[in-house]
Structure 1
Amino acid sequence: MRLFLSRLFSILYLLISANTVFADSHINRIISVDANATEILTSLGYSEQIIGADITSQPFFREPSPANVGYHRSLNAEGLLALQPQLIIGSNHMGPNAVVAMINKANIPLIQLDSPHSPEELISNITTLGKALNAPKKASELIQRVNKTSNQIKALKQGTSPRIAFLLDVGDRGLSLAGKDTAANTLITIIGGKNVSEFNSYKSISMESLLSMNADIILIGQRNTTLITPEQILSNHPLLAHAEASKNNQLISIHSGSLIAGLSLAALDEAERISRRIYAQ
């Protein structure tokens, strides 16, 4: 009982403290619990205002990095409120719901962005954050960058729609193939390709099944920020050398971390890089 009362008073104190933050209308204490939002914020020049970020956002920061508030689906209300944020930004996947309710009860502004699956949706998120931070000029410049990259990708496309397999190297567990409802599928669509898979999400795939799909292009990444080389890929999975894509020099490594929260700015840059590789030959 004492422990319960102690935790209750602690939460009430944090709620009261949080409500006192808004005397200053200038937002300089932001928590971001979405990698896509964090990338936009840092691109808008708000790195120093981010006092807390989820684990997927940490690669965007140099030391000293902001407080790590954990995984965006299993956040802790006390941990968030203790940082006394003026604004919390997340996605429609953040949770649990009780934490979201606690944030709203504390009257802390909360922005929940949709995970973007097109350049237009990415632009919508940029616009939303630009308005929230009263930074329309910076947001406009970032939107121009998105439009420029998108137009360059469209200009590179040719009449054919190559059949593309997007693989995730998950180490000892082998390879996973990206399905239809993934950010990887979004990238494939943007570069004018057709996903060879017919299922949703990611599924483990045997080398025999992969080879039988006869993809024109194989994109492969890892569950980290490292860009694996084609040589490393073939060293880890030597049977891939028998794939037509490999024989035609279309085994392409990708920064899969850029797709962790939907279509990001970095993912769009990856789409342009890959488009130049596959269409400029």
Structure 2
Amino acid sequence: MRKHTKQAPFCATKLGRALAALPLAALLLGSSVAHAEDKVDTTRIVSVGGDVTEIIYALGEEKHLVARDTTSMFPQEAMKLPDVGYMRALSPEGILALSPTSIIAIEGAGPPEALTVLKSASVPFETVPNAYTRDGILAKIEKVGALLGVNDKAKALEASVSADLDAAIADAGKRAEKDRKRVLFILSLQGGKVMASGTGTAADGIIKLSSAINAAGDFPGYKPLTDEAIIEAKPDVILMMNRGDGASTTNEELLKQPALALTPALQNKAVIRMDGLHLLGFGPRTASAVRELNAAMYGG
């Protein structure tokens, strides 16, 4: 026991000296090799996540795609690819039937049982991190570019998207704090309950990028709001996704909710509906979504 205690600091010291003796070039080479190892076989890619698919198209690498998930609806050409199902309800059998050489999926894809089957197959399954922020978008582009082995293209796209985002965010941020709208994002009306967006969600992220205020408060995720909470929120604007399939909640249905009817938003008929992928996708077009949302909230 005493002998082991004496050796531990000695070994750590020797290891530290060995690392310190390594040439800088060798350390940089190791980092470069690790980055290169991110690349997957791009022969037949299945893309899961509308943002991932958009990035692949924006990089000009769509020729590698053999399928996409239901949320991948932009650009329009993507709709011609086979659909493997909703990103959170994937069918592993359907995906594997396409003989993909790799699967690139956004974080949060599932269900877990499906991922277990896919990861146990002899097909690389790569997850792209997801964060509803400016930097999160750029990180996605970098990761997808590394997986496809097109780092230079990714850097160019990052630079373009970054400049566009910074300009849109700066423009939105010019508005005085007292003039910023309180926005209530409603995901749905379930059983007469308003399902609203709290923190850590894509809706909260786009509201913040647009320099508006999330009227729902600071609870995490999505949850049904009580009538008291809705009235207390005092939203100036109701924000919703435009589903485009005729199944969107109408203004008349919103007005049937007594608490909503009392809000400044509905009293002023300030209901904004935007394409869901454009609004919440957090991909290359997010600067455009910030501008569109600001124009709808403030005019111009």
Task: Report if the CA contact (8 A) 1:167-1:178 is conserved.
Answer: yes
| Alignment CA distance shift 1:233-1:108 (3 Å) | same
Name the aligned partner's letter for residue 166 of structure 1: F
1:75-94 equivalent positions in 2, closer than 5 A: 75-94=90-109
**Which residue pairs with 1:20 in the alignment?**
none
Q: Does 1:55 align with 2:70?
A: yes
**Which residue pairs with 1:159 in the alignment?**
176
Aligned mates of 2:169, 2:246 — CA distance in 1: 21
Name the aligned partner's letter for residue 30 of structure 1: I
Task: Report if the CA contact (8 A) 2:41-2:102 is conserved.
Answer: no
Name the aligned partner's letter for residue 200 of structure 1: P
| Alignment CA distance shift 1:73-1:215 (3 Å) | closer
1:1-281 equivalent positions in 2, closer than 5 A: 27-58=42-73, 60-62=75-77, 65-97=80-112, 99-151=114-166, 152-157=168-173, 158-160=175-177, 161-170=180-189, 175-198=194-217, 199-205=219-225, 210-222=230-242, 224-225=243-244, 233-238=250-255, 243-246=263-266, 250-258=270-278, 263-279=282-298
**Which residue pairs with 2:17 in the alignment?**
none
Q: How many corresponding residue pairs?
A: 253
Q: CA deviation at 1:272?
A: 1.9
Name the aligned partner's letter for residue 75 of structure 1: L
SS of 2:42's partner is coil
Which range is displaced more, 32-41 or 202-211?
202-211
The TM-score with structure 2 as length reference comes to 0.69
Task: Report if the CA contact (8 A) 1:227-1:254 is conserved.
Answer: no
**Which residue pairs with 2:6 in the alignment?**
none
Name the aligned partner's letter for residue 212 of structure 2: G
Name the aligned partner's letter for residue 206 of structure 2: L
Name the aligned partner's letter for residue 197 of structure 1: A
SS of 1:56's partner is coil
Deviations 1:19-42 (A, max 9, x none): xxxxxx972311012222112112
Task: Report if the CA contact (8 A) 1:255-1:270 is conserved.
Answer: no
Task: Report if the CA contact (8 A) 2:87-2:109 is conserved.
Answer: yes
Task: Report if the CA contact (8 A) 1:165-1:218 is conserved.
Answer: yes
Structure 2 unaligned blocks of 5 or more? 1-39
Larger radius of gyration: 2
- Root-mean-square deviation (CA), in Å? 3.4
Which range is displaced more, 206-215 or 86-95?
206-215
Q: CA deviation at 1:124?
A: 0.6
Aligned mates of 1:64, 1:72 — CA distance in 2: 15
Task: Report if the CA contact (8 A) 1:168-1:177 is conserved.
Answer: yes
Identity %: 24
Aligned mates of 1:218, 1:88 — CA distance in 2: 37
Aligned mates of 1:78, 1:228 — CA distance in 2: 30
| Alignment CA distance shift 1:72-1:254 (3 Å) | closer
Aligned mates of 1:150, 1:81 — CA distance in 2: 37
| Alignment CA distance shift 1:116-1:92 (3 Å) | same
Name the aligned partner's letter for residue 186 of structure 2: L
Structure 1 unaligned blocks of 5 or more? 1-24
Q: CA deviation at 1:249?
A: 6.6
Aligned mates of 1:238, 1:64 — CA distance in 2: 35
Aligned mates of 1:225, 1:119 — CA distance in 2: 27
